[in-house]
Chains A and B, each alone.
Chain A
Amino acid sequence: MATGSMPERKRGVPEGLWLRCPQCKSTIFRKEAESRFNVCPECDYHFYVSARERIRQLLDADSFEEWFTELRSCDPLGFIDRKPYAQRLEDERAKTGMIDAAVVGRGYIRGRPVVLGVTDFAFMAGSMGSVVGEKLTRSVEEALRLKLPLIFVSGSGGGARMQEGILSLMQMAKVSAALGRYDRAGGLYISILTNPTMGGVAASFALQGDFTFAEPGALIGFAGRRTIWNTVKLELPEKFQTSEFLLQHGFIDRIIHRKDLRTEVARIIDYCEY
């Protein structure tokens, strides 16, 4: 599949020459942020990056071979909210240039062969429906068959995709079962959490890694902040559900700056001699 044909316009990144950092509020030259892995040069705020850009940043140049591009979501429930799900899928495809929220395949990280899967927040908040679940499951099975390390980069605000109802919930079970097999066979799985990783994605593959890394300042958790607030009616702690919060509470191994991810992942692979 031709990656070069993708439209330049992306949801999640405002257009124009200049960007305003939501954290430090400084105005920065877009090209400068882009040359620094889409990280704010003033305060290290990590901007959204698309799955394609993520793959470019992580893998050796032109080493990515995309898999399972023929999978398409359909509308098994006949789900209609403000618009029919089938229409929503069409609109999302047009907006993002992606077919669904996950891109998977194989490639090399500093010369080490890996299987890589990325969920992209721009497509329906990176939520997992049948296609995302199937792509990830197949890539785990391929990693097992090829005896390769597996890396998933999660950026899923929505968790399981509501529009596919219970089938989305069952994708959590499906991917988990595949990862369970891979684990028992001795597979190496590195999970990288990016902003945001919530709900059913956090409660399945994103937190099933042998190693769990996170980018700084990512929102990571199970329940949404509003749901929690409605239940407990208490002020939420500072940094609640951030990478730093999870590190402090013992749920992730390392917080890693985006520019260092490649090196750090390669180093872990070497330690495990996988």
Chain B
Amino acid sequence: MVQHRLPFEKEIYDMEELLARLESSGDGQLGRSDEIRRIRRDLANLKRMIYSNLSPWDTVLVARHPDRPQTVDYINLIFEEFVELHGDRAIGDDRAIRTGFARLGDFRVMLVGHQKGHDWKERSECLFGCAHPEGYRKALNKMRLAAKFRLPIICLIDTPGAYPGIGAEERGQAQLIATNLLEMSQLPTPIICVVIGEGGSGGALGIGIGDRVSMLEHAYYSVISPEGCAGILWRVANDETKARAAAALKMTAKDLARLGVIDDIIPEPLGGAHRDHAEMANTLKTYLMRYLRELRGLPVDELLEQRYQKFRRMGVFVEEPASAT
């Protein structure tokens, strides 16, 4: 399979190739192994340098990397068991959102997550992670089940946005997302949301109301896609306007932390989650376990009050005394 190479990673790949050549020609010479060590160190520094200076648009590209771990990868890497529960009891089984029971350490949880797919076949099956109304209905059905049986809920968010299509509108895309926002704000069980890749607007928020909301280091979360924003503001979405839009929208994890929207930035392996699924999964697991422990045992009314206040505080405005108007 051809590797997907991001433009700003060229130097990394060049150095990796050089390193691979040296390692494979390994004839055990002393001088050679020193060189290999040096290059390994340089490579780590290079990755650190590049990945600590990603532009917002670069971040979008990393968040969309086809090799980036997705919900199903985390299911395999983090959870001891997954019992998928299909269907929304009305229309069908949306493959862009997966739901089911899972075990995480001592915890039994309800897992809800977007799935974008890695290869073409999987991607066309789950429409690149763009859910229809039935996906949001399915998610809410399973979350209600979780609340009924007092299981915490984990939502992994990874979508370019809710599907913009004729059927989606006919079946109430806006209605189903609206219902989820209202219901999730009131569900009497802990909800943990993590944006693992793309946090695309209402499609992300539709499973994004929780007691903890965090983002992976190179994920993005935005009110509109950079393409959509560029198209509206500059009439045309090209590389230049998309980059401008990505910067203007303040959509990176750092931006959201600064704006008080997320709880934590969950660090990624050196050079991004796509370079080391196992390490990424491990880190994510640590955070999820911590959140579950923090929220366990919190009385329900306190949990709901805290959730209410969490979103209640969001927004920036000024209050001028009436005399000034």
Is A179 part of the binding interface, using a Cβ–Cβ cutoff of 8 Å? yes
Known pairs A72-B318, A77-B250, A220-B174; list 10 more (Cβ under 8 Å).
A70-B320, A73-B317, A79-B248, A133-B315, A162-B223, A173-B208, A176-B185, A228-B165, A228-B166, A241-B169
Among residues 215 to 265 in chain B, which have CB atoms less than 8 Å away from a CB atom of chain A? 221-224, 228-229, 232-234, 248-251, 255-256, 259, 261
Is B322 part of the binding interface, using a Cβ–Cβ cutoff of 8 Å? yes
Among residues 160 to 175 in chain A, which have CB atoms less than 8 Å away from a CB atom of chain B? 160-162, 164-174
| Cross-chain contact A173 with B169 (CB below 8 angstroms) | no
Residue of A nearest to B186 (CB): A180
Is A184 part of the binding interface, using a Cβ–Cβ cutoff of 8 Å? yes
| Cross-chain contact A203 with B317 (CB below 8 angstroms) | no
Among residues 158 to 177 in chain B, which have CB atoms less than 8 Å away from a CB atom of chain A? 162-166, 168-175, 177
Q: How far is the CB of A86 from chain B (nearest CB, A)?
A: 12
Which of B165, B174, B186, B325 is A207 in contact with, Cβ under 8 Å?
B174
Is A38 part of the binding interface, using a Cβ–Cβ cutoff of 8 Å? no
Q: How far is the CB of A229 from chain B (nearest CB, A)?
A: 9
Known A-B contacts A134-B317, A166-B259, A222-B173; the reply to A176 vs B202 at CB < 8 A is: no
Cβ of A72: which chain B residues have Cβ within 8 Å of it?
317-320
Cβ of A216: which chain B residues have Cβ within 8 Å of it?
none
| Cross-chain contact B169 with A223 (CB below 8 angstroms) | yes
The stretch of B5-13, B102-110, B306-314 that contacts the partner chain: B306-314
Closest 3 CB pairs of A and B: A223-B164, A130-B315, A176-B181
* Chain A 231-263: CB-based contact to B (< 8 A → 1; otherwise 0): 110101100110001000111000000000000
| Cross-chain contact A69 with B248 (CB below 8 angstroms) | no
| Cross-chain contact B319 with A70 (CB below 8 angstroms) | yes
| Cross-chain contact B322 with A77 (CB below 8 angstroms) | no
Cβ of B145: which chain A residues have Cβ within 8 Å of it?
none
Cβ of B164: which chain A residues have Cβ within 8 Å of it?
222-224, 227-228, 231
Cβ of A99: which chain B residues have Cβ within 8 Å of it?
325
Known A-B contacts A70-B325, A177-B312; the reply to A162 vs B178 at CB < 8 A is: no
Is A137 part of the binding interface, using a Cβ–Cβ cutoff of 8 Å? yes
| Cross-chain contact A222 with B205 (CB below 8 angstroms) | no
Known A-B contacts A231-B165, A240-B169; the reply to A169 vs B249 at CB < 8 A is: no
| Cross-chain contact B251 with A165 (CB below 8 angstroms) | yes
Is B297 part of the binding interface, using a Cβ–Cβ cutoff of 8 Å? no
| Cross-chain contact A222 with B174 (CB below 8 angstroms) | yes
Chain A contact residues, CB within 8 Å of chain B: 1, 69-74, 76-77, 79-82, 99, 129-131, 133-134, 137, 160-162, 164-174, 176-181, 183-184, 199-200, 202-208, 220-224, 227-228, 231-232, 234, 236-237, 240-241, 245, 249-251
Residue of A nearest to B223 (CB): A169
Residue of A nearest to B167 (CB): A232
Residue of A nearest to B183 (CB): A180
Q: How far is it, in angstroms, between the C-alpha of A231 and the C-alpha of B163 when the chains are bound?
A: 9
Residue of A nearest to B136 (CB): A203
Q: How far is it, in angstroms, between the C-alpha of A248 and the C-alpha of B324 when the chains are bound?
A: 49
| Cross-chain contact A1 with B325 (CB below 8 angstroms) | yes
Residue of A nearest to B170 (CB): A249
Q: How far is it, in angstroms, between the C-alpha of A221 and the C-alpha of B170 when the chains are bound?
A: 9
Cβ of B321: which chain A residues have Cβ within 8 Å of it?
70
| Cross-chain contact B316 with A177 (CB below 8 angstroms) | no
| Cross-chain contact A162 with B249 (CB below 8 angstroms) | yes
Residue of A nearest to B262 (CB): A166
Cβ of A164: which chain B residues have Cβ within 8 Å of it?
223, 316
Known A-B contacts A72-B317, A167-B261, A168-B223; the reply to A222 vs B322 at CB < 8 A is: no
Q: How far is it, in angstroms, between the C-alpha of A21 and the C-alpha of B128 when the chains are bound?
A: 42
Q: How far is the CB of B127 from chain A (nearest CB, A)?
A: 10
| Cross-chain contact B317 with A69 (CB below 8 angstroms) | no
Is B209 part of the binding interface, using a Cβ–Cβ cutoff of 8 Å? yes
Q: How far is the CB of B133 from chain A (nearest CB, A)?
A: 9
Cβ of A181: which chain B residues have Cβ within 8 Å of it?
185-186, 308
Known A-B contacts A131-B317, A172-B181, A200-B201; the reply to A165 vs B173 at CB < 8 A is: no
Q: How far is it, in angstroms, between the C-alpha of A131 and the C-alpha of B316 when the chains are bound?
A: 8
Is B282 part of the binding interface, using a Cβ–Cβ cutoff of 8 Å? no
| Cross-chain contact A174 with B209 (CB below 8 angstroms) | no
Which of B179, B202, B232 is A169 in contact with, Cβ under 8 Å?
B202
| Cross-chain contact B319 with A162 (CB below 8 angstroms) | no
Known A-B contacts A71-B317, A134-B315, A171-B314; the reply to A166 vs B233 at CB < 8 A is: no
Known A-B contacts A73-B317, A166-B223, A173-B181; the reply to A222 vs B162 at CB < 8 A is: yes
Cβ of A82: which chain B residues have Cβ within 8 Å of it?
233
Among residues 72 to 131 in chain B, which have CB atoms less than 8 Å away from a CB atom of chain A? none
Which of A69, A73, A137, A237 is B322 in contact with, Cβ under 8 Å?
A69
Cβ of A180: which chain B residues have Cβ within 8 Å of it?
182-183, 185-186
Q: How far is the CB of A211 from chain B (nearest CB, A)?
A: 14
Cβ of B255: which chain A residues have Cβ within 8 Å of it?
165-166
| Cross-chain contact B169 with A166 (CB below 8 angstroms) | no
Q: List 8 A-B contacts (CB under 8 A).
A: A131-B317, A137-B312, A162-B229, A162-B233, A166-B255, A177-B312, A228-B165, A245-B170
Cβ of B325: which chain A residues have Cβ within 8 Å of it?
1, 69-70, 99
Q: How far is it, in angstroms, between the C-alpha of A69 and the C-alpha of B325 when the chains are bound?
A: 8
Known A-B contacts A1-B325, A71-B319, A74-B316; the reply to A173 vs B259 at CB < 8 A is: no
Which of B169, B256, B324 is A222 in contact with, Cβ under 8 Å?
B169
